Amino acid sequence: MINMKSPRIAYGEALVDLGRIDENIVVLDADLAHATQTILFKEKFKDRFFNIGIAEQNMMGIAAGLSLSGFIPFASTFAIFGAGRAFEQIRNTICYPNLNVKIAVTHAGITVGEDGASHQAIEDISLMRSIPNMKVIVPCDAIETKKAVFAAAKINGPVYIRIARPVAPIITEENAEFKIGKAQILREGKDFTIFATGLMVEKAIEAANILYNAGIEATVVNVHTIKPLDEELIIEEAVKTGKVITIEEHSVIGGLGSAVAETLIGKVPIKMKILGIKDTFGQSGDPDLLLKHYGLTAENIVETVTEMLND
């Protein structure tokens, strides 16, 4: 029996826990507090919560000002409005002076579901990781979300935490070590290497199980930090099998796959494929059906791996 939990609720709970031990934690939202679950923080620490209204650009600037006053602001909204609408505010006002602002966004990727393409951020990893000083974390479940929030609060400087909307299976252990910039090997196999991030980590594990039954042993790596990327581990695990796929709930342009390719290119002779959303917008629909439609399932991984092994 697999436990399920919403990473968003884990985010809200983590903020409350953090708020208890550090009075410098302040939280900002842009009229989405119930969706992002920052409402949990507001209920406990009313004076340290600021609903800036539907004004994400202003929210990023105010967060910058609060960080300059000695606070550790967490600014939350949907991924599309954070990384998208407020991109330049994040770049110029927060990252350029390396301010201690944490941008934790929810509803990333196509699993936003029924709201459709306008609300499904599939470019945000690409946008955020291209900004100097920014760190990018994509937790794969509720447990990891909480750890990411604590880890982000501990380091100085801007961090982008990308959280998905759906309730998701718990696939990491409570006592597993979480370090920003350190990828986590979930299983090892001699035939193939799968690098996954976010909700796709679970799909990768499922695929590895199917492959195992077919006599193929795959390594699965949870790349929760896209930047700084754990280059050492990625090169090591890629070299071991010589065959790599990456999978992410994000455009194939500029995300995890690009980051891994940038790391491996010219260093090691490997075969590699990037699984993600193929330079197209999403659409309305049930999240699981959308994942199927856009080729982000365990079956898609199995198929790609089999093809590459037979090639």
Partner 1 sequence: MQKNVQINELTLSELRYISTEVRKDVIKMLGKSKSGHPGGSLSVVDILVTLYYKIMKVDPKYPNWEDRDRLVLSKGHSCPALYSILARKGYFNVDQLTTLRQLGSILQGHPDMKRTPGIDASVGSLGQGLSVAVGLALGAKLKNKDYRVYAIIGDGEMQEGQIWEALMATIHYKLDNLTTILDYNKLQIDGTNNEVMSLGDVKSRIKAFGFDVYEINGHDFEEIYGALTTSLASQKPKFIIAHTIKGKGVSFMENKVEWHGKAPNDDQVIKALAELEGK
| Binding interface with partner 1 (CB under 8 A) | 26, 47-48, 50, 52-53, 55, 57-58, 60-71, 88-89, 92-93, 96-98
Residue 73 CB, nearest approach to partner 1 (Å)? 8
Say what the alpha-carbon torsion angle 36, 195, 298, 178 is, to the nearest 10 degrees: -50
> Is 56 assigned a catalytic role?
yes
Residue 87 CB, nearest approach to partner 1 (Å)? 11
Question: Of 13, 43, 56, 114, which residue is the catalytic one?
Answer: 56
- What is d(CA 300, CA 122) in angstroms, rounded to the nearest whole number? 19
Nearer to partner 1, 51 or 283 (CB): 51
Nearer to partner 1, 16 or 66 (CB): 66
Structure tokens at 132: 């100097």
- Please name the helix (run of DSSP H) or strand (run of DSSP E) that holds residue 260, with its range, or none: helix 256-264
Nearer to partner 1, 68 or 185 (CB): 68
Residue 66 CB, nearest approach to partner 1 (Å)? 5
Nearer to partner 1, 3 or 69 (CB): 69
Cβ atoms of 279 and 285 within 8 Å: the answer is no
Residue 52 CB, nearest approach to partner 1 (Å)? 6
Mind telling me the catalytic residues?
56
